[in-house]
Chains A and B, each alone.
Chain A
């Protein structure tokens, strides 16, 4: 693989609340290659969003803090930059889109202003040039009648269209990395597919890499080249998408596979989603062994006592005592 755009090394992000310390991300490693689409999957609360926010350094001030590790981007550790340097990277070299299209756009600024703003901040363009770019970007994300609609406000767009606007903002400065945190979770299934397709198409056009966060392995299958499976703030498995679907190793990954809903295809009504029994562990209590052990069908005494380290064969790696990569 070519030099990665992003390399996250031993990332540790903790939340300091009155009830104690939550280890939301606890020693995470992964890389995103240039032009690649990497998926991060895992159940709700496993630290996917916190990972993304740590990379962008957008954690809620005073609550969450990255206490260790490195976030290497273009040869620099983003965790060492000051706020002004970080601002120059955000929205320019690394862009981000969020899960909630209905609330992620500013209701009192026109979509044109919101796209043009990025262009003016990062590329020093004049207002007129930036507005022209805004209309261009809007057309690029396939909003009909873009020239006229740049002047419209978010409430005049549907959820799917707003997510297109978010994509337009994110790609307006041609970033090297696009972080998409559950970009389609809030949308209708038919719209989901359109948005994913658009994202993939545009990222190849501008040559960006994507870090796609999702809890839906179906989305991963359709869009990613590689995938990292997260559980309780750690990586439990990593593989190419083909390998993972071919030969899921970690019992947790297998559980996730079994719970992929079938409603994507036409046919008989969806059967009940098979969920993994048990609940996600409380990240506040330090976990001695494997975090998944209490829910794992293969768990042994060793699993609850000793944390498994990541072992790999080729590009496929897994953290589990009971399976071999």
Chain B
């Protein structure tokens, strides 16, 4: 087992390598010169050239790439052009809000999505099913920022139930932390819930039509045990796969959600960095996000053995 995990961890390396190349090329081929942005509007060409030299931007692109990769392999994501701090420390400072937002959303969304997916499947063809599916289409097609502003307008501005925006660290109390997370989590999780609910419903419908479900009924198993004990475990592998793949939605959504709700997290860090062409931060954050995504999906793959005895071999 630990051998498998090690092998799978090593197999992440080529994936991350490809990600690194793509990220680097994309940023360096995109228009915009960080040196002139840092130098300001009234800078002379000499000024800009000096800054460019300081930052190593005068080097050939391949050389810049190798320097960046070599540093990364030593655990160094580089130094921000604008802040002068290391990218790693900047990410560290901004991690709490982002991790809080992502994890609470993930936990609540997965639980909720599976519940309504199972509900829809067990009431297939009824108005409950249609309601859930209607929500799934809507939740998936309305952009995060629209949901976000709508929620702010209704629940924060009009009803005044929850804060309009911002973040309150966990260290300053559980309740303010939670109150600040509710609306962003809903906005962020909407598409994710829709995605997982839909696959849960589809997979459960297939499972419910299986012969062994008829066997369970013939044994006198009660409805709830039929759904959760007999069916859901059989549906777990496709659901877990989508839970893993859907983390991409969360990562993309975090960037937008943090902007809409003015949350000082990693998403905001990277949005600001893009405006300033602060390459090291953009590259570093993308590498971290990609690493998280690949790692989550590795965990999902490993979880299959929990659900399905046939893959245990």
Query: Using a CB–CB distance below 8 Å, which chain A residues touch chain B?
Result: 56, 58, 62, 87-92, 95-96, 98, 100, 103-110, 117-118, 121-122, 153, 155, 166, 169
Contacts and interface: CB of A to CB of B under 8 A. Distances in A.
B234 A107 contact: yes
Q: Which of B212, B218, B230 has the most CB of A within 10 A?
A: B218
Contacts of A100: 211
Contact of A91 (B211, B214, B220): B220
Nearest to B215: A104
A108 to B, nearest CB: 5
B234 A118 contact: no
A117 B219 contact: yes
A178 B50 CA distance: 91
B310 to A, nearest CB: 5
B218 A56 contact: yes
Contact of B234 (A90, A96, A108, A117): A108
A169 B219 contact: yes
Contacts of A56: 218
A152 to B, nearest CB: 9
Interface of B: 125, 210-212, 214-222, 229-230, 233-234, 236, 307-310
Contacts of B234: 106-108
A105 B216 CA distance: 9
B303 to A, nearest CB: 13
17 contacts: A56-B218, A58-B218, A87-B222, A90-B219, A91-B218, A92-B220, A103-B212, A105-B215, A106-B215, A108-B234, A108-B236, A118-B219, A121-B221, A122-B220, A153-B310, A155-B310, A169-B219
A246 B96 CA distance: 86
Contacts, number: 72
Nearest to B211: A103
A246 to B, nearest CB: 36
Nearest to A115: B219
Contact of B218 (A62, A95, A106): A95
Contacts of A87: 220-222
A58 B218 CA distance: 7
Given A98-B214, A118-B220, 18 more contacts: A56-B218, A58-B214, A58-B217, A90-B219, A91-B219, A95-B219, A98-B215, A104-B214, A104-B215, A105-B215, A106-B215, A106-B216, A106-B234, A107-B308, A108-B234, A108-B307, A108-B308, A109-B230
Contacts of B210: 103
B220 to A, nearest CB: 4
Contacts of A106: 212, 215-216, 230, 234
B309 A155 contact: yes
Contacts of B215: 98, 104-106, 166, 169
Given A106-B230, A108-B308, A121 B212 contact: no
Nearest to A93: B220
A169 B220 CA distance: 12
Contacts of B125: 62
A90 B222 CA distance: 11
Contact of A105 (B212, B217, B236, B307): B212
A105 to B, nearest CB: 6
Given A87-B222, A117-B221, A121-B221, A153 B309 contact: yes
B76 to A, nearest CB: 46
B127 to A, nearest CB: 15
A104 B309 contact: no
Contacts of B236: 108
Contacts of A62: 125
A103 B307 CA distance: 18
A110 B215 CA distance: 14
Nearest to A89: B220
Given A108-B234, A108-B309, A90 B211 contact: no
A232 to B, nearest CB: 24
A79 B236 CA distance: 36
Q: Which of B216, B217, B219 has the most CB of A within 10 A?
A: B219
A107 B214 contact: no
Contacts of A109: 229-230, 233
A242 to B, nearest CB: 32
A56 B216 CA distance: 12
Nearest to A57: B217
A109 B215 CA distance: 13
B220 A90 contact: yes
Contacts of A105: 212, 215
A267 to B, nearest CB: 36
Contacts of A153: 309-310
Contacts of B219: 90-91, 95, 117-118, 121, 169
A109 B212 CA distance: 11
A61 to B, nearest CB: 10
Please list the 4 inter-chain residue pairs (A to B) with the smallest Cβ-Cβ separation, ordered nearest first: A91-B219, A91-B220, A90-B220, A103-B211
A90 B219 CA distance: 5
A280 B125 CA distance: 33
Contacts of B229: 109
A118 B310 CA distance: 23
B212 A104 contact: yes
A104 B211 contact: yes
Contacts of A98: 211, 214-215, 218
